[in-house]
Structure 1
Amino acid sequence: MIKHKLGIRHVEAFRAVMSSGSMTVAARALHTSQPQVSRLIAQLETITQFPLFARNGNRVSPTEDAIRFHREVEKTFAGIAELESVAADIRSFSGAQLRVASTARLAGDLVVKIVTQFLAVHPEVLVSIHSGNASDVNDWIRTGVCDVGLVLLAGATPGINAEHISTLRYVAVLPKGHFLADLKEVTPEHLGGIPFISPTAESLFRSPIEEVFVDKKPPRIVAKASLGSSVCALVRAGLGVSLVNELAARDEYKSGGIEIRPFSGDIPITVSLLYRPFLAQPRLVESFSKIAKPVIESEIASIKRAIG
């Protein structure tokens, strides 16, 4: 004699008969034959070792044991429905959180544009933006405080997984009326010996700027500042000239008081997304990155058009 084990088809047939009170109607609901439903119910009675239905022509009536069994079956199916709901929430990131780290310059405009588009696709996600300097962002990603970062990079970032999205140039920023403003392009040689606003020692961009003047006469440093906005403010005050990336130059140029000219020196700088090292990217981070890349590329292209 074959010993049957309780299976999902037994339970589906039982629920259908309990709901309809008929083997024939249950068979139609399950898209199967009435004999097949009868066989499944008979097998289920063998498995449970108690009768489930009393036959009365084409109708069947559940026994007291069947009614008790049905209550437990419905509890189980309610749990399965809850699991389906949980899976749907996970799939749609409902209740999920995404922590985005960025430098202050990028957080004020570029990150907001990315997050706005991201939330239009994933409205159930809570996004938090953490802004600081480049070292802060690196530390937040490396230690897992944040899930994804957006920064400007001037070189390698040990211990960080960096994806370079777009490239920015450095440009010369000059006070209004400065004699170098007559040039179409400023070279490192033009800056030799003249008053210059330099990045501070902790800036990631100080070394790349200094390397431009290797084997050349360097400018005369009269002041230092860590932020591009502060550098441009000192230039605007007439204290000297400087070199900043196109993004900082574009934003400060809107305020007036400075001139921008192309710079011929090679200072590499990239707009990059940062991820935690040695870990597969979560689906939420992958979705953020997919949305972020075209926004970044479009914004950088706009910046280049704005300042020529």
Structure 2
Amino acid sequence: MAGRRMSFRHIEAFRAVMATGSMTEASRRLHTSQPQVSRLIAQLEAITGLPLFDRSGSRVVPSLDGTRFHAEVERAFVGLTSLESAAARIRAFGAERLRVAAMPRLAGGLLARAVVRFRAAHPDVIVAIHSGDDGTVNEWVATGFCDAALTMLYGEAPEARLEQVETRACVAVLPQDHPLTARTTLAPEDFRGVPFIASSLGSALRSRTEAIFEAADVDLTITAEAGLGASICTLVSGGLGVSVMNPLAAYEEAKVSPIAIRPFAPALPVHFALLFPPDHARGRLMRAFGACARAILLEELAQLPDAANGRPASRPQAARFSAPA
């Protein structure tokens, strides 16, 4: 007998259980019975060969394999969503549309300002802004779900057309009263034994940071992890540790979080860039939006202190790197 194959019903049940944390709640959401949902999950675990959930009474907790599988499932659903969006755009053929994306920090600031400038010149174009982590944004562009993205890269851009705008060096962020603020520049050796707030495990920034510290033969003393720059700066300002992050986010967060900022060496470069789908011809609208986004990004980067953007400072100004309270 041929083995059972994965179906949409299996994935639908899996997503519902992941969303609700309960077979019972998932069955209500799907308008079916709890035994049917349990049966579909059991079948899916048999098909994949993965223990997707740890059972504890009426609650189910995703296993590590389940969490990883869920990430792949969500990426697949991006493709389905893009087909639905394409059909909607075809139906609304009278209006030109542009879908742009960025990580949350860029989407709420730089990208939104680029859209404002773009719309001033193209008032009839409907622009949709999407935000997600760096992996999700890259996936949206690679699959054509989004027409363009403003992003920060610490490595290569997978399966996307990259238009680099500028490269800067990451900076160290510290509590304002931390002893290391007495130094004008910080190196991995300065962080030996110092509590460190790391970016999310598996992120490009985390990998690059660990590689630099490993090359310096310094073990990171990680006390917390966070995926967003805002969260990292909040933890730093609360005294939980120090960190290394891109300068644009650091100086933006310094406006609301009491942190100090110092140059970090050796340089950990971050590339500010525009991403476009790999197989799509860049039309008039995409070129126009790219020009707006590039101009806004360059204007913002030009306001950073010299040492924070990887350029030699014109004169020593150590106090310049202390963020306002």
TM-score by length of 1: 0.67
Counterpart amino acid of residue 105 in structure 1: R
In the TM superposition, what are the counterparts of 1:116-265 in structure 2 within 5 Å?
116-215=116-215, 216-265=217-266
Matches within 5 A, 1:279-294: 279-294=280-295
Q: Deviations over 1:171-192 (max 9, x none)?
A: 1111121000001111111112
Aligned partner letter, 1:160: A
What letter is aligned with 2:299?
S
- Kept in 2, the 8 Å contact 1:208–1:268? The answer is no
Q: Distance between the aligned counterparts of 1:278 and 1:143, measured in 2?
A: 9
User: Match for residue 103 of structure 2?
Assistant: 103
Contact kept? 2:165, 2:274, Cα under 8 Å = yes
Q: For residue 229 of structure 1, report the CA deviation from its aligned partner.
A: 0.9
How big is the shift at 1:156? 0.7
What is the identity, as a one-letter code, of the residue corresponding to 1:302? Q
Measured against aligned partners, the alpha-carbon deviations of 1:210-231 in whole angstroms (never above 9, x if no partner) come to 1111232123111111111111
2-structure distance, mates of 1:94, 1:304 = 46
Cα distance in 2 for residues equivalent to 1:194 and 1:235 = 12
Partner residue, 1:9? none
> Aligned partners of 2:176 and 2:189: how far apart in 1?
20
Contact (CA 8 Å) 2:150, 2:293: kept in 1 or not? no
Shift of 1:303: 2.8
Deviations 1:8-29 (A, max 9, x none): xxxxxxxxxxxxxxxxxxxxxx
* 8 Å CA contact 2:175, 2:236 repeated in 1: yes
Contact (CA 8 Å) 1:202, 1:226: kept in 2 or not?
Answer: no
- Which residue type is aligned with residue 283 of structure 1? R
The residue that corresponds to 1:302 in the other structure is 303
Q: How many residues align?
A: 216
Does the CA contact (< 8 Å) of 2:233 and 2:257 recur in 1? no
2: CA distance between counterparts of 1:187 and 1:124? 50
Structure with higher Rg: it is 1
Q: Match of 2:259, as an amino acid?
A: I
The one-letter amino acid of 2:223's match is V
Cα distance in 2, alignment partners of residues 160 and 105 from structure 1: 21
Distance 1:258 1:290 in 2: 33
Amino acid at match of 1:292: A
Distance apart, 1:257 and its partner CA: 1.9
Query: Does the 8 A contact of 1:171 with 1:243 survive in 2?
Result: yes
Question: Aligned letter for 1:152?
Answer: M
Q: 1:94 to 1:288 in 2, by over 3 A?
A: farther
> Gapped runs of 5+ residues in structure 2?
1-92, 309-319
Q: Secondary structure at the match of 2:303?
A: helix
Taking only the aligned residue pairs, the percentage that are identical comes to: 41
CA distance in 2, matches of 1:173, 1:243: 6
Q: 1:194, 1:290 → 2: CA distance?
A: 43
Displacement after TM superposition at 1:204 (Å): 2.2
1:212–1:266 CA contact under 8 A, matched in 2: no
Cα offset for 1:244? 1.1
How far has the Cα of 1:94 moved from its partner? 7.0
8 Å Cα contact 1:94-1:125 kept in structure 2: no
Q: Distance in 1 between matches of 2:264 and 2:270?
A: 14
In the alignment, the residues of structure 2 paired with residue 285 and residue 176 of structure 1 have an alpha-carbon distance, to the nearest angstrom, of 43
1:24-56 deviation line (CA, Å, top 9, x unaligned): xxxxxxxxxxxxxxxxxxxxxxxxxxxxxxxxx
